[in-house]
């Protein structure tokens, strides 16, 4: 038995020599006896002394077995020279460099708005940022863990161990560490690592923000832009009318086909389905070839509408309902009790101020329409005035999507001659509206009155007019019993024209809808007034106005010369713009992390345990604490478990062994997997 112990001692000493890279002595090779021969193994007894023999070495850690020497040397080199942390720093620098290369590659380049490559740059940068942040935080966390051992070289609270451990796990723990440092010694070296960890939290959003995509690129030079192609439709005149025969009288005039088609379409829009607004936008949309254009303040002629509920003026008798004549209605409008359900007419007189609250706002009149109906369980009358107006517009094309905003302009000045010309076109007077003062805008430029006086072209552009023949032709069409607003619906529900058919459909739909909103609207007549204005006549005026804006100037038939397009600024397509000053933040962060880790590595000359928890465990087990690699190798041969003792739960060592062969177990080659104890012979 003594001889066996001599052999075991020789093997252990040889392992020490290999681990320390020192050749074993001749004494060990000769199997000489050592004091360890007094150790007696017993599987049943309990050691009464220290179960860890004292090794004749400067380290209290038992040496590794021979088969682990090469691996041990490699692990020691990795740990001692902080190679994992160095590699992490290199990866973070590599990712930062790749991010900068991606930014350089895409800076000023056109953004793909469709297809698989549309999100390629941001996706690539996101992946690189994630790798960079992970690689940057790892060495900082290791350095913080190493600094805790320096922290405890002086007397500190034991709870600081937990604080340092939390700081290595992320920004929240670093905030706690920083707050505790500020209460004592804020400028402890660990504060720098905590600050770096906290600053890494918004890293991704900051770097992504550096790759900005402006709403538009650089403006193209005027020589490369054809305003005749990219200009947006506008007009300051309505001058076209066609004769129905060879008769030259104004009563024989009608609007051009594009306007008559727009009138029919506008009437039917209120009971049509689909996105009619988009259809109008497509009709007016400029041909912005790059997809990005801006059209500053401009103005155009058009038609507006305002309606009034005049049901309170309806007179009811035993035979009929009637709307009496007034300043705005030439003849009485009647509806027989048993003869019909809807009756409409058109007047070319301005609304009566006593009936129409917004009469002062009505511009040069196009038509004054009266609707009388009893198909909604009560008698309702509505008056709607269509009038010429000048509208301010602003629009832009973004990614080929054209959006126009508008505001109706109120024209002040001498209105009498203008208003009279509108209702008496047979006198041959044109409707002329001069936009004076600072109200006139052309291509984003404000034209003053003085500029108009000295420049005839500017004055012409700021003058909006409707020729007498065009006005008369439009009125002729609107009062037509076939094409216009004059008609009726019989008791048998037979409409006289398209307009009455639309009214019948609209009123039926709204009648079914009325019970759901009756508690929110004062009366059905007030509600129907809103329906008539916003769902019937507003789409009508939008459609007709769009058609008027597209009318050519110079010749209605043959060669068309528009010449009234509002000029725009065309911009290059979306292009990436790298905000390079923002990149200072990730550069400082990555560089600071590397420098911080390097300084900690240089300062850590002893107790190089980093994040390891083995020192605490070895202290608790009564083991000697040496170098990290030695503790790892020894821990691989140790087996422990949690047991309840007198003082609570404890980690208890129950056995150990060597991974390269059977350990000192119970003699059956179990590698120490079973529990064992030691005792000293006396």
User: Which is it for strands 237-238 and 463-466: parallel, antiparallel or unpaired?
Assistant: parallel
pLDDT one-digit tens code per residue, 168-201:
776 776 777 777 766 555 457 777 878 888 888 8
Indicate the DSSP class of residue 667.
S
pLDDT at 353: 92
Bigger pLDDT: 58 vs 194: 194
Q: How far apart are CA 640 and CA 620, in angstroms?
A: 12
Please report which confidence band the pLDDT of residue 514 belongs to, taking 50, 70 and 90 as the band edges. low
Beta strands, E only, 249-332: 253-254, 292-309, 315-316, 320-323
Residue 358 has pLDDT above 80, yes or no: yes
Which pair of structure tokens corresponds to residue 605? Answer: 């000359």
Dist. CA 619–CA 608, nearest whole Å? 16
Number of C-beta neighbours around residue 409 at 10 A: 18
Instruction: Give the model's pLDDT for residue 659.
Output: 45
Which segments of 29-131 are extended strands (E)? 39-42
Read off the pLDDT of residues 459-493 as tens digits, 9 standing for 90 and up.
888 899 899 999 999 999 999 999 999 999 998 88
- Does the pLDDT value for residue 97 go beyond 80? yes
Measuring CA to CA, how many Å separate 574 from each of 59, 110, 229? 67, 6, 21
Mean pLDDT of 41-68: 42
Tokens of 208: 């992504």
Tokens of 225: 């832009």
> pLDDT-derived band of residue 38, with 50, 70 and 90 as boundaries?
very low
Rg (CA), the chain: 47
Q: Which residue would you say has higher pLDDT here, 305 or 14?
A: 305
Handedness of CA 473, 478, 482, 487 (dihedral sign): negative
Question: How confident is the prediction for the chain on average, in pLDDT?
Answer: 76
Tokens of 264: 């029919």
The pLDDT of residue 313 is 93
User: What distance in Å separates the CA atoms of residue 384 and residue 196, rounded to the nearest whole number?
Assistant: 70
CA–centroid distance for 424 within its chain:
56
Per-residue pLDDT tens over the stretch 370-387: 999 988 778 889 999 999
Q: Tell me how far apart the alpha carbons of residues 391 and 368 are, in angstroms, rounded to a whole number.
A: 21
More confident site: 540 or 223? 540
CA 46 to chain centre: 71
Provide, rounded to the nearest whole percent, the portion of the chain with pLDDT above 90: 27
Contact (CB, 8 A) for 106 and 211: yes
Confidence of residue 620 (pLDDT cuts 50, 70, 90): low
Q: Phi/psi at 590 (nearest 5 deg)?
A: -65, -45
Residue whose structure tokens are 């305002």? 306
- For residue 577, give the nearest of 314, 225, 212, 170 by alpha carbon: 212
Cα(534)–Cα(528) distance, integer angstroms: 10
- The mean per-residue pLDDT over the stretch 137-147 comes to 82
pLDDT in tens, 622-643: 666 566 666 666 667 677 776 7
Distance between CA atoms of residues 477 and 486, nearest Å: 10
Instruction: Supply the pLDDT for residue 156.
Output: 65
Query: DSSP readout, 344-396?
Result: EEEE-SPPPTTT-TTGGG--SEEEEEEEEE-TTSS-EEEEEEEEEEEEEEEEE
Mean pLDDT of 551-580: 73
Is 4's pLDDT higher than 80?
Answer: no
Q: Which two tokens stand for residue 658?
A: 């060597």
Indicate the length of the chain as a whole number: 682
Which one is predicted more confidently, 553 or 276? Answer: 553
Whether pTM > 0.75 for this model: the answer is no
pLDDT of 437 over the 90 cut: no
> Residue with structure tokens 């959003």?
205
Three-class SS of 115-130: CCCCCHHHHHHHHHHH
């Amino acid at each position: 038995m003594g001889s066996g112990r001599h052999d075991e001692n020789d093997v252990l000493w040889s392992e020490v020599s290999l681990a320390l890279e020192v050749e074993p002595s001749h004494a060990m090779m000769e199997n000489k006896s050592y004091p360890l021969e007094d150790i007696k193994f017993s599987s049943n007894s309990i050691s009464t002394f220290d179960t860890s023999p004292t090794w004749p070495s400067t380290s209290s850690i038992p040496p590794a077995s021979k088969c682990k020497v090469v691996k041990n040397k490699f692990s020691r080199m990795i740990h001692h020279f902080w190679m994992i942390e160095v590699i992490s720093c290199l990866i973070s620098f590599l990712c930062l460099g790749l991010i900068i290369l991606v930014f350089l590659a895409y800076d000023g380049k056109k953004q793909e708005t469709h297809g698989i490559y549309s999100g390629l740059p941001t996706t690539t940068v996101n992946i690189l940022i994630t790798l960079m942040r992970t690689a940057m935080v790892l060495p900082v966390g290791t350095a913080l863990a190493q600094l805790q051992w320096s922290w405890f070289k002086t007397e500190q609270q034991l709870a600081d161990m937990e604080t340092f451990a939390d700081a290595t796990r992320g920004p929240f723990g670093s905030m706690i560490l920083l707050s505790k440092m500020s209460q004592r010694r804020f400028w402890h070296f660990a504060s720098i690592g905590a600050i770096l960890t906290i600053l890494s939290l918004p890293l991704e959003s900051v770097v992504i923000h550096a790759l900005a995509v402006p709403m538009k690129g650089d403006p193209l030079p005027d020589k490369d832009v054809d305003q005749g192609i990219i200009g947006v439709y506008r007009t300051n005149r309505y001058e076209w009318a066609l004769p129905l025969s060879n008769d030259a009288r104004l009563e024989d005039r009608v609007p051009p086909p594009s306007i008559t088609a727009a009138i029919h379409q506008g009437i039917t829009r209120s009971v049509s389905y689909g996105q009619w607004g988009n259809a109008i936008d497509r009709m007016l949309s400029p041909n912005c070839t790059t997809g990005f254009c801006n059209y500053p303040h401009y103005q155009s002629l058009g038609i507006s509408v305002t309606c009034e509920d005049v049901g309170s003026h309806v007179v009811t008798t035993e035979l009929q309902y009637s709307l009496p004549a007034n300043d705005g209605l030439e003849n009485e409008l009647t509806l027989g009790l048993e003869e019909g359900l809807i009756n409409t007419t058109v007047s070319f007189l301005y609304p009566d101020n006593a009936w129409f609250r917004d009469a002062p706002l009505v511009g040069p009149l196009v038509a004054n329409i009266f609707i009388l109906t009893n198909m909604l369980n009560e008698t309702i009358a509505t008056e709607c005035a269509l009038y010429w107006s000048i509208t301010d517009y602003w629009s832009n094309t973004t990614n080929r999507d054209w959006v126009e905003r508008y505001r109706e302009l109120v024209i002040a000045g001498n209105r009498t001659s203008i208003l009279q010309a509108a209702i008496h076109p047979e006198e041959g007077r044109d409707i002329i509206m001069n936009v004076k003062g600072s109200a006139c805008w052309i291509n984003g430029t404000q034209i003053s009155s003085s500029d108009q006086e000295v420049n005839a072209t500017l004055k012409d552009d700021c003058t909006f007019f409707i020729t007498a023949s065009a006005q008369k032709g439009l009125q002729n069409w609107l009062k037509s019993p076939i094409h216009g607003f004059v008609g009726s619906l019989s008791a048998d529900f037979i409409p006289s024209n398209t307009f009455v058919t639309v009214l019948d459909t609209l009123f039926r739909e709204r009648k079914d809808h009325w019970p759901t909103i009756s508690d929110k609207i004062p009366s059905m007549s007030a509600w129907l007034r809103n329906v008539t204005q916003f769902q019937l006549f507003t789409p009508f005026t939008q459609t007709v106005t769009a058609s008027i804006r597209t009318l050519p100037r110079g010749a209605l038939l043959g060669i068309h010369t528009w010449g009234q397009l509002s000029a725009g600024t065309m911009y290059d397509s979306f292009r990436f713009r790298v905000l390079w000053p923002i990149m200072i933040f990730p550069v400082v962060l990555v560089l600071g992390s590397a420098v911080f880790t390097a300084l900690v590595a240089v300062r850590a000359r002893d107790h190089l345990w980093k994040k390891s928890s083995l020192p605490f465990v070895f202290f608790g087990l009564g083991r000697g604490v040496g170098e990290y690699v030695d503790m790892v190798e020894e821990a691989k041969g140790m087996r422990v478990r949690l047991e309840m003792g007198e003082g609570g739960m404890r980690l208890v060592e129950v056995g150990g062994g060597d991974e390269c062969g059977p350990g000192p177990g119970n003699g059956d080659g179990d590698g120490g997997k079973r529990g064992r104890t030691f005792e000293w012979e006396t």
